[in-house]
A and B are shown apart, each in its own frame.
Chain A
């Protein structure tokens, strides 16, 4: 089981800089991908859960780049998702554009919104930025409700790729999976490249970044733009998946869910957003299933049954922040280290 055997000597920088740097990881990643491709075989009726996890993981990847790697807090990530969703709805409903055009165009529109929202981040930092992005969240909801004639809801045509119309959850799953993997790989590559280094430099010490020739405004705005683009992809997918979108799906609660996902998953890990999204949605679904059972056994829980999800989330977040600020990704890394060294303590 040794993950990094002695004799694993790297002779080129390419080997040294690889993300999956041992055979164990490469095989493991292959197995994971195969499992995901074959998911319709094992997931059964829970394929909808995988769709949700995948879509939110794409959005969370963007927020992880922004908050985890660039250090800019955003409480308006769901608003970007909403902009992606409504743009996509408009493009495919009113302009009759096919999905393969509507998704990138909608994401690009969201990217532009991200740049604009990111501009004040040069002056507004930390908590103040959190409040500013929260204001953007409410403004977006308000604007979208008015743009849709006070209803806030709109329908979206189904995805159609080259004459093949996606009708079932299982078919849609493959649309999600392609974009999910692409988004995850792109983000993982980005953070080890020159742009990722610049993001982390801005996060860790902005004045020292300037001295190294890093243009703060450019990289902060770029981080917001990329995060928004990811949210736009997620929003567009969400719109075409649900076929009916309302502003409530993208409210401030969803923005906070996003923050919870990246904190739970691990802020500075390529795996963090994926683990976080999976954790949050599996937990939500699990609670929905066990809540009625708990209620029949302990009727006294009746009062907290409705906010049960929020309570469990809150406790999980606090527990992680206290005991494992690195999130699930760090827990996995520690487990791996234990396995590497077992049966020795160090």
Chain B
């Protein structure tokens, strides 16, 4: 018997006026699994993610997370339930330090009220110190100690990507959604990021949904893949099966070409 899935997406339909962005996509995410979503540009991959974390409201379909239907919850409620994500084009807070950026991930875990925050000494300070410890562990894990006090806007792209991963991890998520975590990175940075993702899977048993265009990375990291084209799921299976699937090859380039399609 298969284990209870962490996340179920059922019969998802999303339409923007004349454009059918998602047409009947469904999949499940198993515990400890890295699920890759691939497909050509405009296939609706990011739209699926936006439905999962609540930016878009699908016209039809259901999203079940942690045993409950979350299809109509507001984005911040879903975050509180444990859905964390990163963005394709980095969405950090440029005016804040790396430390504070990652600390914002802890806000949902902090409880101090307005008065305690204003007085600071006492409960709010103790709470802040505890959570600072968690943030420092993440900074260690991502090897960005020297960037700790820098403003995010001053940092190179690769480090910003790491900080964004760190901010999502600070939420102690139940599921992590990564939208192109390696886009625009150098080979070294990609292998670092791949290492973090594998470690999160092995050590934290964190299930992940990953959108990525680097096929080498996708095939190596993912346990299972979904291929999307024109808002539809055209294939699903292990990386090996997907690589041999003629529909997938046709969707990507129209002719059989191995390896990195993008």
Taking chain B's interface residues, is the majority helix, strand, or loop, or is none over half, making it mixed? helix
Q: Are A212 and B129 in contact (CB under 8 A)?
A: no
Give, as a whole number of angstroms, the nearest-CB distance from A266 to chain B: 13
Partner of A193, one of B75, B77, B112, B171: B112
Q: Is the CB of A214 within 8 A of B128?
A: no
Give residues of chain B (207-239) contacting chain A, Cβ–Cβ below 8 Å. Answer: none
CB of A195 within 8 Å of the partner chain? yes
Interface-central residue, A186, A192, A198, A201, by most chain B CB under 10 Å: A201
Cβ contact within 8 Å between B129 and A189: no
1/0 per position for B66-86, CB-CB distance to A under 8 A? 000000001111011000110
Which of chain B's residues have a CB closer than 8 A to the CB of A212?
76, 79, 104-105, 107-108, 167, 171
Indicate the size class of the contact surface on chain B: 35 or more
User: CA of A197 to CA of B85 in the docked complex: distance in angstroms?
Assistant: 19
Query: Across the interface, which residues of A come within 8 angstroms of B132, CB to CB?
Result: 13, 16-17
Q: Mark B112-123, 1 if CB is under 8 A from A, else 0.
A: 101011111000
Nearest-CB residue, chain B, relative to A198? B107
Question: Which residues of B are found within 8 Å of A201, using beta-carbon distances?
Answer: 93, 96, 104, 107
> What chain B residues lie within 8 Å of A12 (beta carbons)?
129
Q: A205-B92, A212-B105 are in contact. Are A193 and B128 (CB under 8 A)?
A: yes
Q: Is B246 an interface residue (CB 8 A)?
A: no
A313 to chain B minimum Cβ distance, whole angstroms, is: 26
In the complex, chain A residues whose CB is within 8 Å of the CB of B106 = 194
User: Contacts A13-B132, A14-B129, A205-B92; is A194 near B76 (CB within 8 Å)?
Assistant: no
Task: Give the residue of B75, B124, B133 whose beta carbon is less than 8 angstroms from that of A211.
Answer: B75
The answer to whether residues A213 and B87 also contact, given A13-B129, A14-B125 and a CB cut-off of 8 A, is: no
A162 to B236, CA, bound (A): 77
Q: Which of B144-167 contact A (CB under 8 A)?
A: 167
Set of chain A residues within 8 Å of B53, measured between Cβ atoms: 211
Contacts of B79 in A (CB 8 A): 210-214
CA–CA, A201 and B101, complex, Å: 8
Contact residue among B54, B85, B104 (Cβ-Cβ distance under 8 Å from A198): B104
Q: Which residue of B lies closest to A210 (CB)?
A: B75
Task: Determine if B25 is an interface residue (Cβ-Cβ < 8 Å).
Answer: no
Residue from B84, B100, B120 having most chain A Cβ neighbours under 10 A:
B120
A125 contacts partner chain B, Cβ-Cβ < 8 Å: no
Q: Determine if A275 is an interface residue (Cβ-Cβ < 8 Å).
A: no
User: A215 within 8 Å of B by Cβ?
Assistant: yes
Instruction: With CB as the reference atom, state the residue of chain A lying closest to B110.
Output: A194
Whether, in the assembled complex, B91 has its beta carbon less than 8 Å from a beta carbon of chain A, the answer is yes
Chain A proximity mask over B87-104: 1 for CB below 8 Å, otherwise 0: 100011111100010011
Asked if A213 and B107 make an inter-chain contact with CB atoms under 8 angstroms apart, the answer reads: yes
**B141: which A residues are within 8 A, CB to CB?**
none
| Chain B residues within an 8 Å CB radius of A248 | none
C-alpha spacing A192/B100, complex, angstroms: 9
Please determine whether B96 and A200 come into contact, CB atoms closer than 8 angstroms. Answer: yes
Selected contact of A214 from candidates B96, B107, B117, CB within 8 Å? B107
B105 touches A186 (CB 8 A): no
B117 touching A194 by the CB < 8 A rule?
yes
Chain A 154-197: CB-based contact to B (< 8 A → 1; otherwise 0): 00000000000000000000000000000000110110111111
* Chain B residues in 8 Å Cβ range of A216: 76
User: Is A309 at the interface (CB under 8 A from chain B)?
Assistant: no
The distance from the CB of B164 to the nearest CB of chain A, in whole angstroms, is 9
Contact of B107 among A186, A187, A194, A204 (CB under 8 A): A194
Q: Are B95 and A203 in contact (CB under 8 A)?
A: yes
- Shortest CB-to-CB span from B67 to chain A, Å, is 19
Also in contact, A17 and B129, with CB within 8 A (given A186-B119, A208-B87): yes
The contact string, 1 if C-beta is below 8 Å from chain B, for chain A 13-24, is 110110000000
- Measured between alpha carbons, how far is A189 from B53 in the docked complex, in Å? 32
Question: Does A29 have its Cβ within 8 Å of any Cβ on chain B?
Answer: no
Q: Is A207 an interface residue when CB atoms closer than 8 A count as contact?
A: yes
- The one of B87, B95, B117 that contacts A189, using a Cβ cutoff of 8 Å: B117
A203 surroundings in chain B (CB, below 8 A): 93, 95
Asked if A268 is an interface residue, CB under 8 A from chain B, the answer is yes
How many Å lie between the Cα of A194 and that of B126 in the bound state?
A: 12
A190 to B113, CA, bound (A): 10
Q: Which residues of B contact A215 (CB under 8 A)?
A: 74, 76
Evaluate whether A200 and B93 lie within 8 angstroms (CB atoms) in the complex, with A211-B53, A212-B108, A212-B167 already known: yes
The residues in A between 1 and 53 inclusive whose CB is less than 8 angstroms from any CB of B are 12-14, 16-17
Enumerate 19 A-B pairs (CB-CB under 8 Å) in ascending A order.
A13-B133, A16-B132, A186-B119, A187-B118, A189-B124, A193-B112, A194-B117, A194-B124, A195-B112, A197-B104, A201-B96, A208-B91, A210-B54, A211-B53, A211-B84, A212-B104, A213-B77, A214-B104, A214-B107
20 more CB-based (< 8 A) A-B contacts, given A210-B75, A212-B108: A16-B132, A17-B132, A187-B118, A189-B117, A192-B128, A193-B116, A193-B120, A193-B124, A193-B128, A194-B110, A195-B114, A198-B107, A200-B93, A205-B91, A211-B84, A212-B79, A213-B77, A214-B79, A214-B107, A214-B108
Name B's A-contacting residues (CB within 8 A).
Answer: 53-55, 74-77, 79-80, 84-85, 87, 91-96, 100, 103-108, 110, 112, 114, 116-120, 124-125, 127-129, 132-133, 167, 171
Q: Which 10 A-B pairs have the closest CB atoms?
A: A204-B93, A213-B79, A193-B117, A213-B108, A189-B120, A208-B91, A186-B118, A194-B110, A210-B75, A13-B129
